[in-house]
A and B are shown apart, each in its own frame.
Chain A
Amino acid sequence: MQQEVEKYSKPTRILHWVHLVSFCILFLTGLVLFVPGLGVIAQDSWTRVIHRVAAVIFILAPIIYVPMNWKATLKGVKEAFSWSAVDIGWLKAAPRYYFLGDETGMPPQGSMNTGQRLWWLIVLVSGVIFTITGLVMWFAKTTAPAAVLQWMVFFHDVAFIVAGTMLLLHIYLGLLHPLMTEAWKAIYKGTVSVEYAKKHHAKWYEEVTRGKEVKS
């Protein structure tokens, strides 16, 4: 049997799935207001009720996760905001890899590669924007000035476009792309094979072998 190494701890995987499912529900119940042809589905506000239930889960999940997983959180946030020249190299080499399967130009990566960290940064930033603008629209709908509410909708929409399209990319890479064989296992079972770790997350694997890894 192949040797496995743990990539994501159980709490992180649970957070991922709770957040993904709630975000997909938020995405779909928000989409009905974005696509004119679907607007009819939203009549009588029932999609808004679902949107709000999902929003509560979406906001509470990280609030519960963070104090229970301080180290992983700190490590994650730090990673989202540390960018270097290596990332440019990755982005340059990425098309050849994702289209042609040619891995030669890809620089060694940590536990998250550049693309994953870009998505992770979008998740963090858009999550904050969604939460703030959404709470204002929910709780200040009758009290805030019209202009404020309109700009809240505007930024909610911007975050929706950015995070929504990147969500499609995320789901595509996780489920459909012919090369992404172990990504699914990493977030479902929590482990990847040693061979995969060496090949795709060389820097991280080195940390693991030296016992210096902060669990995520």
Chain B
Amino acid sequence: MAEKAILYDATRCTACRGCQAACKQWNENDEFIPTVENGVQSVNRGSYENPPDLSPTTWLKMEFREVTPDGKVRWLFNRRSCMHCTDAGCVKVCPSGALYHHELGFVAYDKDICTGCGYCEDACPFDVPRYERNFVSGIAKMDKCTFCTTPGLDRIAGGWEPACVKTCPPDALQYGDRDQLVAEGKKRVEALIAKGWTNANLYGEKELGGLHVMYVLDDHPAVYGLPVDPQISAATIAWQDVIQPIGWVVGGLTILGLGFNYLVARANINREKEKKDAARS
């Protein structure tokens, strides 16, 4: 089946945060209200951004950024959520298969079998997975954007677009076949360049084997706070691709070796005994 994706056009976004609200509403995530009662001192962070960060109940959040190239203030908006990588660090390290690639390409999540290990939290190049974690016992569950495929709330299986896309008033979010969206994104980038936005680019086309959330940007990704050339960490590779396979080989050979030793040793010792017995009689 053709891979699906979301195209986010930062140049069309008005930062109404309708996607943020629709995400919470559809996925039945309570609004996080940063108050003292909720353990957050209400502070002016000098931004319209709210809530302060992604959380187990905030899977999508709009970021506001003020930059001043050439002394002129630009107010930039960025959609922060799971990027649904093809080479996904989280899927690589997930020990239970709770995180997996949906047949349509993006990273789906089966919360029931999450062990709460927290490996995905540290392996994600975009710092997306969030945990509810008990400090002492370690009882934990991860949450992140599921591309609206949470069982029982599966919009994709129902033939609908994700909630964030559905609600977006300026059509800054689009859902469709990834190939088509790549073509559409490139077209828009070309148009931007033609208008004089020489740094315009399509983020996510090639990053990490291709993201399933792609960004039309009118400036360098770093200006939007996106990691330039994100990579799966060296620790993830050393651990998953080197140490784990070695562990399997070492463990397997040890068990085989011990079984072999048992058979040989027992046979030899029995033979010695028989010899002795024969000599005695």
Contact = CB atoms under 8 A, between A and B. Distances in A.
Given A101-B272, A150-B233, A178-B265, A141 B247 contact: no
B89 to A, nearest CB: 10
Contacts of A172: 258, 261-262
A141 B133 contact: yes
Contact of A178 (B244, B254, B269): B269
A105 interface: no
Given A98-B261, A101-B265, A141-B118, A147 B233 contact: yes
Given A42-B95, A150-B235, A177-B262, A165 B254 contact: yes
B250 A179 contact: no
A150 B251 CA distance: 22
Contact of B117 (A40, A48, A98, A161): A48
A64 interface: no
B138 A49 contact: yes
Contact of B116 (A32, A44, A158): A44
Given A48-B115, A48-B116, A138-B138, A34 B243 contact: no
Interface stretch (B56-64, B119-127, B162-170, B202-210): B119-127
A116 B141 CA distance: 42
B244 A157 contact: yes
Interface string B215-253: 000000000000000000101101100011011001100
Nearest to B94: A39
Given A39-B115, A48-B117, A169 B95 contact: no
Nearest to B134: A45
Contacts of A168: 251, 254-255, 258
A154 B235 contact: yes
A149 B122 CA distance: 7
Contact of A43 (B96, B235, B266): B96
Given A43-B112, A154-B235, A158-B243, A165 B265 contact: no
B123 A100 contact: no
A211 interface: no
Contact of A161 (B243, B261, B269): B243
B268 A100 contact: yes
A163 B83 CA distance: 38
17 contacts: A32-B95, A33-B96, A34-B244, A36-B96, A39-B98, A43-B98, A43-B115, A49-B138, A101-B265, A146-B121, A153-B122, A154-B243, A157-B243, A165-B254, A168-B258, A172-B258, A177-B261
Interface of B: 94-98, 112-119, 121-123, 127, 133, 135, 137-141, 233, 235-236, 238-239, 243-244, 246-247, 250-251, 254-255, 258, 261-262, 264-266, 268-269, 272
Q: Which 6 pairs from chain A and chain B are nearest by CB?
A: A39-B96, A150-B235, A42-B115, A146-B122, A161-B247, A45-B116
